[in-house]
Chains A and B, each alone.
Chain A
């Protein structure tokens, strides 16, 4: 059950748009920086396959300039 954290950089001035788009993806938690076009993003998916699908969806967002992985955790199923 992967949990991953990323830094997502929006295209200049489109931080709000990126934040809304990410929040609409459900498996994402987002905290926007107060003073830069950067979002801290945590994804929480049930398995690797869904994690890959989610990542593809995120990377397809228009307002995203760059996605950079910070950390990954895999928690066991229970």
Chain B
């Protein structure tokens, strides 16, 4: 064989090996291949390995990227990263394969007379700046908006916030983390007064039980799930899967308990009822460290435009809380949750046994919930009543979806109500921002404006006349895209999209800006366990691709804000991070300096006196505790965590005669969110080429539906056709169907409902009513 045939053959063998591993990852929960990364690296290769975080999920695995002659040629797990200890999941291994994609956005494109014209980047940025300025002049500051991402780097989020809130003076900034993590944030703030988990991944090495709440970790957080399985094998740790659908995680668990959608609220209360009834309350912990509150109920679901809600917390006492829980005995709850009395008591006994260490994990199942804040509160209640919190192996742990939903969206604060430290409604927080940003404090408005859903409603209504969407694909990921796609297509709004690849969102843009992929620029991400990870630029991007932060800076300069953005092109990442770090100085959120972040494979904040704080609020580990007690929930003025009285309330839309099925949507292991990157990675695309609709076999039988048959799913909003899947990846309960949302050719979000949690404003993608028929 000649050399090219040999090369082709070895390439095919490599693809064949990758296909086998990808197939394994979807069949065997938590499976990892350690040696795979080294495969395919030529023996004589002299690679330069550079560290960074994985581009995909919020687990935040450390990667090493091997570069040769300016090209990224290999990825392996970073053995120095305590997150993944050298291992990666199937997405992690293959991540760099997308950057060479043929349809990569390499140059700016400007729409002229209905078609896109390649335009020098400087001209495109001129146009963006002039359009933004003109819109502000003609329609006011609140007519322009920016929608960013939990995939943006920390410097990118910071510059977006500074430009919008500090320079322009509008709070019209929100991000896609609103769609995935907002309920976690409001859950933390209402219960503890401080965002992000108190524990860290090392909890996995200490816990006896893992209870996963509506969370398919085997597919969504595969490296963490493999760590749990390792502890199961090594120490006999147990995994309890509490969910509405049987998944790869359920089959690998010790016990799978299924519940009727929305009734997790009632079951969590029933667990607390049992804990109190059986005398399992950790009385001294509760007396010293907890207070009790209730809030408003019957809040609505945000279905109407301009919906507003503000909770009115009211202090209550333990007796009132106990009285409230009387409606949640296991016997009463079992009737509508479809969880047996025995299983509710079993769950309560795990939490209630003082000799068992237990970690609760959750992600979208609890956050994408019209009562998302409440269900977060309720799981905290369980841990607070039993005092199982802020200790190695004991604690509630809200996992993030995106690689920097914590670092960027939550810590930098790219939400309408947030500032890099605190919130816009707080005078002191505004003053701090004004001082560091060197702007008059009056520049920063004190009233939040549009959260994600309302922002796209405002575009549809014509209230927002300019929007810049960065590193996200809302026209696939928003709920009820059947409304928001036509809204974005309207002439009334000038749309700018910066991204790496074309997407259905860039399809409606007036200007498309070519963004650098993460290793083509330097940056920082923050993962689920408060770990900040720094990386250097590793390779040059193609054409005129430009880091997003630099595009924001260029536009800011063109708009006349150059003095506020004095960063240099070469070192802007460092300069921005050093400025941003000032917001978090102190023992409660201190961030490691850059020289430490450059050396380490991520550092957990608070970073105090050269040391990470692994368990917050526990005086043994957390130097910020100052009340002289074992625990100090210093996020609240009285130093106490709040146990919330939150009732069960129905979902806004339930199956009925006309629309008899629940629709649940979510993800698959092969694809990252809307698939714009992973569908360009051949091995992942081949493994999962299109979306599908899962049925329970009994429902399929009743309807006469066979595997692969084309099915039309219809809701009151829209419809979507997909092939049926029966007894394949997952198994929904009877009366429920499941559809993954990664496929831009099968837009299931045309069908979903844009109801949201009134407190967090996070939409519920897990529950709406649909009908199904053969297409």
CB B279 to nearest CB in A, in angstroms, measures 40
B39 sits at the interface (CB 8 A):
yes
A64 on the interface (CB 8 Å rule)? no
- Which of A38, A70, A73 is packed against the most chain B CB atoms within 10 Å? A70
Taking CB as reference atom, which chain B residue is nearest A40? B20
Q: Mark A39-78, 1 if CB is under 8 A from B, else 0.
A: 0111010000000000000000000000000110101001
Q: Which residue in chain A gives the minimum CB-CB distance to B8? A: A75
Q: Which of B2, B19, B226 contacts A70 (CB 8 A)?
A: B19
Taking the nearest CB of chain B, how far is it from the CB of A53, in angstroms? 19
Whether, in the assembled complex, B5 has its beta carbon less than 8 Å from a beta carbon of chain A, the answer is yes
Q: Taking the complex as formed, is B32 at the interface, i.e. its CB lies under 8 A from any CB of chain A?
A: yes
Among A3, A32, A36, A75, which residue has the most Cβ atoms of chain B within 10 A? A36
User: Which residue in A31, A44, A78 is a CB contact (below 8 Å) of B2?
Assistant: A78
Contact with A along B1-42 (1 / 0, CB 8 A): 110010011001101110111011001101111111001000
Answer whether residue B48 sits at the interface, using C-beta atoms and an 8 A cutoff. Answer: no
Bound CA span A64–B647, Å: 53
Nearest B residue to A77 via CB reads B1
Tell yes or no: A11 within 8 A of B by CB.
Answer: no
Please, which residues of chain A bring their CB within 8 A of the CB of B32? 33-35
Please tell me if A17 contacts chain B, counting CB pairs below 8 Å. no
Instruction: Check: B230 CB closer than 8 A to any chain A CB.
Output: yes
Interface range on chain B: under 10, 10 to 19, 20 to 34, or 35 or more?
A: 20 to 34
Chain A residue numbers with a CB within 8 Å of B2 are 78
Q: What is the chain B residue whose CB lies nearest that of A43?
A: B16
Task: Give chain B residues whose Cβ lies under 8 Å from the Cβ of A36.
Answer: 28, 30-31
Q: Are B13 and A7 in contact (CB under 8 A)?
A: no
Interface residues on A, range: 20 to 34
Contacts of A3 in B (CB 8 A): 9, 12-13, 16
Contact of A31 among B8, B28, B33, B229 (CB under 8 A): B33
Q: Are B23 and A7 in contact (CB under 8 A)?
A: yes
CB-based contact A35/B30 at 8 Å: yes
By a CB distance below 8 angstroms, the chain A residues around B5 are 75, 78
Task: Say if the beta carbon of B434 comes within 8 Å of chain A.
Answer: no
Least Cβ distance of B469 to chain A in Å? 37
B87 on interface, CB distance cutoff 8 Å: yes
Q: A20 to chain B: closest CB distance in Å?
A: 15
Expressed in whole angstroms, the Cα–Cα distance for A21 and B17 within the complex equals 18
Known: A34-B34, A73-B12. A29 touches B28 (CB 8 A): no
CB distance from B178 to the nearest CB of A (A): 35
Given contacts A34-B87, A35-B226, contact A42 B16 (CB under 8 A): yes
A19–chain B nearest beta-carbon distance, Å: 11
Beta-carbon contact of B87 and A40 below 8 Å: no
A31→B17 contact, CB < 8 A: yes
In the assembled complex, the Cα of A33 lies from the Cα of B36 at a distance in Å of: 9
| B-to-A contact residues, CB < 8 Å | 1-2, 5, 8-9, 12-13, 15-17, 19-21, 23-24, 27-28, 30-36, 39, 87, 226, 229-230, 233
20 contacts between A and B (CB under 8 A): A1-B9, A3-B12, A7-B23, A7-B27, A29-B17, A31-B20, A31-B21, A32-B33, A32-B35, A33-B31, A35-B31, A35-B230, A38-B24, A38-B28, A42-B13, A44-B9, A70-B20, A73-B12, A75-B9, A78-B5
**Residue positions of A touching B, CB distance < 8 A:** 1, 3-7, 29, 31-36, 38, 40-42, 44, 70-71, 73, 75, 78
